[in-house]
Structure 1
Amino acid sequence: MNRLELPALSAAQVAALLPDAPDGVEWRSVEWLGMGSDHHAFALDRARVLRLPRWPGGGEALRREARLLAWLAPRLGGAALPEVLLLGDAGPRVPEGFSVARRVPGRSALGFALTDPVALGGGLGRWLADLHALNPQGSGLTVDLDPSGHDWRDVALDDLEAAAGAGVLPEADAWAARVRDIPDLRKVVPAPIHGDFAAEHVYLDGQGRLSGVLDWSDAALGDPARDLAGLIHWGDAALLAAARVAYPAAGPSCGAVWERAAWYALCRALADLAFGLTGGAAGGQEAYLRAGRRALDGLQVWWTNAPIPP
């Protein structure tokens, strides 16, 4: 079902919202950063980020995310998390309100040339293992599972159709067969997950080390394979191999969790291609197209010895 997108605001309009901010939160400049699937983002004085929901209902998602980040901060180390400083009230121009958070240090790993993928992969694997092992009591997280996989499949096929129609997806029929070959999701044990763990939400310092993880709006009690898909989606074989060593997925279900992760990674790659055709930060569309193609190349290697289903 199509949703009615909320009107976008200019940097000047966002600046006009800020005089009502409480004492102790200061800013001198407002600069548009870009558009994600759920938010418009603006830099405030280069030290903070303001996010505006794109869709009705996004205000509650911002408030839920702020509560989760406050819960996670003392429990999850190894990477900085956004610290929400302000939740702005709804108003005529911002019917869902807005949030202001301290900016996560570093830069997005989307398109980042990795200097030490083995060290980074090990760090990401350990960090995800710590997240997935958290006791969710008190987190406010709700269960988000699709045992049929049909929701993921249907969205991925729509994205595939858009990418193929634009001429950015060779061998579309073969990839469509992969999408339709849904792994067994019926016995998944839910765990705390980031929910949208991909390179653009992972921040690295100047030496290419993990420095922060942002955008927790899709966090849930869900399939850990959804986060592991981000490691496959990255498209770096050395990073993935190190992460698999560091992530303690052992026992009879080990192969199953990575099989699910590869399928989710395919769905994510197709979403990148579709998003790269229509959105993202100014000049950033090509970065998403490159990320999607790189992920598909990695998945092609992943499935080299597995026949594409009929």
Structure 2
Amino acid sequence: MTQAPTPTADTVRRLVRSLLKEGADDTAGPEVRPVAAGGEAVTWWVGARHVLRLAPDREGAVRQRRELRLRDLVRGHVPVAVPTSVAHGEWAPGLSYTLDTKVPGGSAEVHDVSAVGEADLAGLLTGLREVPVRQAESLGVPRTGPRSLEALRRSAERAAGRLAAADEFDAARMHQLTQPAAVQLAAQPGSAVLVHHGLTGEHLVVSADGRVRGVLGWTDTVVGDPAEDIAGLARAVGSPAAVRAATLAGYGARPCLRGLWLARCDTVLNLAEALNATTRTPLPELQRQLDLAWEPILLERVTELREDGDADGES
């Protein structure tokens, strides 16, 4: 198999000069710089107004082309900004690119989400539920089944023991999720909706006043369990804010608590996996996600779920 080329600053400069048609000589054009230091440079800032994303392989190109079509579909349903492509094509044979307008604002890793911002998140969840599932699947969006919360609970309990031995976590906190509760919080049939599946702090664009202005990173979107997006929000903005947003969006106790425990188990597993790495590196972001997901919420005191109060969505 042919080795994919490695994008360089020169590659990016030549491409964006041809797209933006700025400058007539080899040194003209907007400043370009990789978004992330180190690793594979596949996302680049282009001046102050654009972001260039390069698919690193054929699979990534398929996902990116699907994402472009999906963003056009989603844009009419959600109340926050979705990136717009001003140019797209191939930067190397079979490898796609998209030059997107930058959505103004910082990330949820920098700015706290306000009460009004939680309403923005509620609008996002509501809009995703309203996207016609068949239409999304016709674009190639895959359908995924819900994860087993009981299997996840067992794995997280083992990981919590390793974290406790490293003095990173109180393993007794996992006792809050019992085996009967995990069974009770199983996903309900017919609840599949369009799921962003990547609602990280990095992908939430938040203004200085705490409003959620946009959502990035639609590559991993699936048709599946809406609790996965509630879980993503719990890791990104905290469990109380995530549950309040989901409740405003019409979700009942079951999907809210399911999302809460998906987030908690995931953060325990992610931190334990990172601690087992051969090189011990600072883990502030993983620890931050764990702390956010484990923030207590009032809903945890509910001992009986109201079946008729759930609004899980219909596929």
TM-score interval for Structure 1 and Structure 2 normalised by the shorter chain:
0.7 to 0.9
Q: Could you tell me which residue of structure 2 aligns to residue 83 of structure 1?
A: 84
Q: Could you tell me which residue of structure 2 aligns to residue 262 of structure 1?
A: 260
Q: Could you tell me which residue of structure 1 aligns to residue 141 of structure 2?
A: 142
What residue ranges of structure 1 are gaps of 5+ in the alignment?
Answer: 279-284
Deviation at 1:208, TM superposition (A): 1.4
Q: Which amino acid aligns with 1:226?
A: E
Q: Could you tell me which residue of structure 2 aligns to residue 200 of structure 1?
A: 202
Mapped to 1, the partners of 2:122 and 2:223 lie a distance apart of 18
After superposing the two structures, state which structure 1 stretch, 139-148 or 193-202, moved more.
139-148
Mapped to 1, the partners of 2:4 and 2:84 lie a distance apart of 25
| 1:214 to 2:216 alignment | yes
Deviation at 1:56, TM superposition (A): 5.0
SS in 1 for 2:92: coil
Summarize deviations over 1:76-125 as a string: whole Å, max 9, x none: 24211100122231527xx63322211111111114234xx322212211
Mapped to 2, the partners of 1:215 and 1:288 lie a distance apart of 18
Summarize deviations over 1:209-267 as a string: whole Å, max 9, x none: 11111110111211111112233224546534542441212xxxx22212321232124
Q: Could you tell me which residue of structure 2 aligns to residue 170 of structure 1?
A: 169
| Higher CA-based Rg | 2
- Confirm or deny: 8 A CA contact 1:179 1:263 kept in the other structure: no
Using the size of structure 2 for normalisation, the TM-score is 0.71
Deviation at 1:277, TM superposition (A): 7.5
Counting matched residue pairs gives: 288
Give runs of aligned pairs for residues 254-293 of structure 1, distance below 5 A: 254-270=252-268, 273=271, 288-293=285-290
After superposing the two structures, state which structure 1 stretch, 174-183 or 78-87, moved more.
174-183
Summarize deviations over 1:39-89 as a string: whole Å, max 9, x none: 83210012111123355510110100011112222x124211100122231
Q: Which amino acid aligns with 1:130?
A: G
- Confirm or deny: 8 A CA contact 1:40 1:51 kept in the other structure: yes
SS in 2 for 1:89: strand
- Confirm or deny: 8 A CA contact 1:141 1:219 kept in the other structure: no
SS in 1 for 2:131: coil
Mapped to 1, the partners of 2:143 and 2:44 lie a distance apart of 29
| 1:130 to 2:115 alignment | no
Mapped to 1, the partners of 2:125 and 2:90 lie a distance apart of 33
RMSD of aligned residue pairs (Cα, Å): 4.4
After superposing the two structures, state which structure 1 stretch, 50-59 or 104-113, moved more.
50-59
Deviation at 1:197, TM superposition (A): 1.6
Mapped to 2, the partners of 1:186 and 1:237 lie a distance apart of 21
Mapped to 2, the partners of 1:171 and 1:232 lie a distance apart of 19
Identity over aligned residues, as a percent?
20
SS in 1 for 2:286: helix
Q: Which amino acid aligns with 1:42?
A: W
Summarize deviations over 1:173-203 as a string: whole Å, max 9, x none: 8659969957423625211121212322111
- Confirm or deny: 8 A CA contact 1:160 1:176 kept in the other structure: no
- Confirm or deny: 8 A CA contact 1:195 1:227 kept in the other structure: yes
Q: Which amino acid aligns with 1:293?
A: L
Compared with structure 1, are the counterparts of its residues 88 and 207 closer, same or farther at alpha carbon in structure 2 (3 Å cutoff)? Answer: same
Using the size of structure 1 for normalisation, the TM-score is 0.72
Compared with structure 1, are the counterparts of its residues 135 and 305 closer, same or farther at alpha carbon in structure 2 (3 Å cutoff)? Answer: closer
Compared with structure 1, are the counterparts of its residues 277 and 28 closer, same or farther at alpha carbon in structure 2 (3 Å cutoff)? Answer: farther
